[in-house]
Structure 1
Amino acid sequence: MDDDSGSFLEWVIPFAFVVCAGWATWHTPAFILDFLPPASDSLVQQMGELHHRKDVTPDMPGLFGGYADALDWAALVLVPILLILGARNVRCAGMEYEHWRPIDRFSLFIGRVTMILILSLTCVMLYEVFLRYVFEAPTLWANELTLWIAGYVFLLSGLYAMQQRCHIRIFLLYDAVPRWMQHLFDMISVAFIWFFAFFLIFGSYKQVFYTKFYKWEMFGTAFDPPIPATIQPMILIMVALIAIQAAVNLISDWNLTAEERGGLADIDEQEIEAIKRSVGKV
């Protein structure tokens, strides 16, 4: 596979994906009212008022006689398109896990999206510091926005970490047993991940999707972002994706040789040497 990374598309597509996903997420009440409106008229009115209060383009008419306007629909349609394009164009960087497969493209692209979110988070914090200490005019939205973005960074990076095999692993006993027993350990660990994911989702999906998401619970501050309505469903979604990625890792790493598996334990030394070369120490 081509391991060339850092092309222009690898910056533009994740950035466009973040913009479109953010726009569609912010205007989700419009889609709820159009597709699955609440049964109670009072709840419909309440969510309609919330949508009009938070709508970025309140003067644009809704398409098809609904609440979502042309920009909302464009963002919603572009999200899966950009996801597919991003996954198809993603390239493995030099310090990333080298034994990746085409099925890992989705997780790699999510890693690129996470990097864009970290950059966005930094820009928001710098903007707030500049306004607060230079103009003495702090914003009402920067703190909550950084919390919101940081929550997504934490969740999305979990999937990327699982694909990169950079989560915490203890090799003391694992390396001392034969390969067939290592396979057994791998299967047991994946089974525990699936066990945890299943019961977490089974036990909380009703509260998360019907109470938090469907009623679009807000944060209750001056900026009032929908952090509970978005972060809690994302927890369940990412736990499911991490469980799937764990199974993919199990299959992908099944026939790795001892030398190839040894590269996983030496990743810290490789990173240190790469950093030294980048600063001219080696």
Structure 2
Amino acid sequence: MHEKQGTLVEWLAPLAFCIVSGWLVWHAPAYILDFGPENGQLAAQLARTDVTPNLSPIFAFADIVDYAALILCPLLFILGVMTVRRASMEYEHWNGFDRISVFLGRITMILILILTSVMIFEVMMRYVFERPTLWANELSLWLAGFVFLLAGLYSMQQRGHIRIFLLYDICPRWLQRLFDVISTGLIVLFAFFLIYGAYGEAFQKFMRWETFGTAFDPPIPATLKIMVLLVVTLVALQAVVNLFADWNEEPVIHTAADDIDEGELERLRAAVGDDGTADLDVTRSAAQERDTR
């Protein structure tokens, strides 16, 4: 896999996907009403939240902008998956499924930028202009939920999740592979039972488009319940992909040196010099000289 070249499309694709998928989520009641059963309460809710109420619907509720977003969303996702590149600090070995996880990781980065912007805007409106918004707090919670879930998938792909290596490192490679199979099996088993037990409730909340019950009233329960099941499924698939991808890899011995930031060490060496006599001299003799002045 080629390293990331910093092309503009690598960041425009996830940004455009976030905008289009945001439109899809906000207007999801229109799609539910077009393809699902009649629901007067949901129709009234759509009438309150519709961004383009003056556009004529194509069928019953969703208009041309809604269906354009519905078509663009998978196209932007495919474009993003095809154009994503590995950054220099990311895990080196990729396959086709890893592209999906890394692109979702890029989307997570965009969501963090949007979340930060919302919080800064709210602070400014609240403490500078003394006109706090009714939507910033709930929108921050909503975005943070998506960030939390998608970051877990990205962490799994990068092998950055928490692992305890005390026993693992001292075992032979065949036993390490057995541990990997067991841990992956447990992840898949957990995902299966979570989906089996929570699908019914999540689907019901989605179909009635359950909201948060505040002034802004975002559909946090309707979206995050489904998102949890989707991301857990992707995490389980990524765990299986990792198992096969790492099967023939050489065993990695973990030491205390793994926690050392090489970049920080290089900056310290540049600051103090190899012999400790640079501008930021931190040797004992330097400290004594400063004390005598």
What is the TM-score with the length of structure 2 in the denominator? 0.88
Conservation of the 8 A alpha-carbon contact between 2:84 and 2:103: yes
Residue 267 (structure 2) pairs with residue 274 (structure 1): no
1:129-179 deviation line (CA, Å, top 9, x unaligned) = 011111100100000000000000000011100000000001111010000
Q: Give the corresponding residue for 1:55.
A: 50
Q: Give the corresponding residue for 2:122.
A: 128
CA shift, 1:102, in A, is 2.9
Conservation of the 8 A alpha-carbon contact between 1:165 and 1:264: no
Output the aligned Cα RMSD: 1.8
Q: Give the corresponding residue for 1:107.
A: 101
Inter-CA distance 266–51: structure 2 relative to 1 (3 Å threshold): farther
Q: Percent identity?
A: 56
Conservation of the 8 A alpha-carbon contact between 1:218 and 1:229: yes
Letter in 2 for 1:119: L
Conservation of the 8 A alpha-carbon contact between 2:97 and 2:238: no
Inter-CA distance 88–266: structure 2 relative to 1 (3 Å threshold): farther
CA shift, 1:266, in A, is 6.1
CA shift, 1:262, in A, is 4.3
The 5 Å alignment of 1:68-147 reads 68-147=62-141
Letter in 2 for 1:45: G
1:221-273 deviation line (CA, Å, top 9, x unaligned) = 00000000000110011111100000000000001013xx348986543xx22
Conservation of the 8 A alpha-carbon contact between 1:20 and 1:78: yes
The 5 Å alignment of 1:226-245 reads 226-245=219-238
CA shift, 1:5, in A, is 3.8
Question: Distance between the aligned counterparts of 1:122 and 1:166, measured in 2?
Answer: 24
Inter-CA distance 268–86: structure 2 relative to 1 (3 Å threshold): farther
Question: Distance between the aligned counterparts of 1:192 and 1:222, measured in 2?
Answer: 41
Residue 20 (structure 2) pairs with residue 26 (structure 1): no
Residue 172 (structure 2) pairs with residue 183 (structure 1): no
* 3-state SS in 2 of match to 1:185: helix
- Number of aligned positions between the proteins: 271
CA shift, 1:100, in A, is 2.0
Letter in 2 for 1:102: G
Residue 218 (structure 2) pairs with residue 225 (structure 1): yes
Letter in 2 for 1:242: V
What is the TM-score with the length of structure 1 in the denominator? 0.92
Between structures 1 and 2, the one with greater helix share:
1
Question: Distance between the aligned counterparts of 1:175 and 1:21, measured in 2?
Answer: 43
1:163 aligned to 146, 149, 157, which one?
Answer: 157
Give structure 2 stretches of 5+ with no counterpart: 274-293
Letter in 2 for 1:244: L
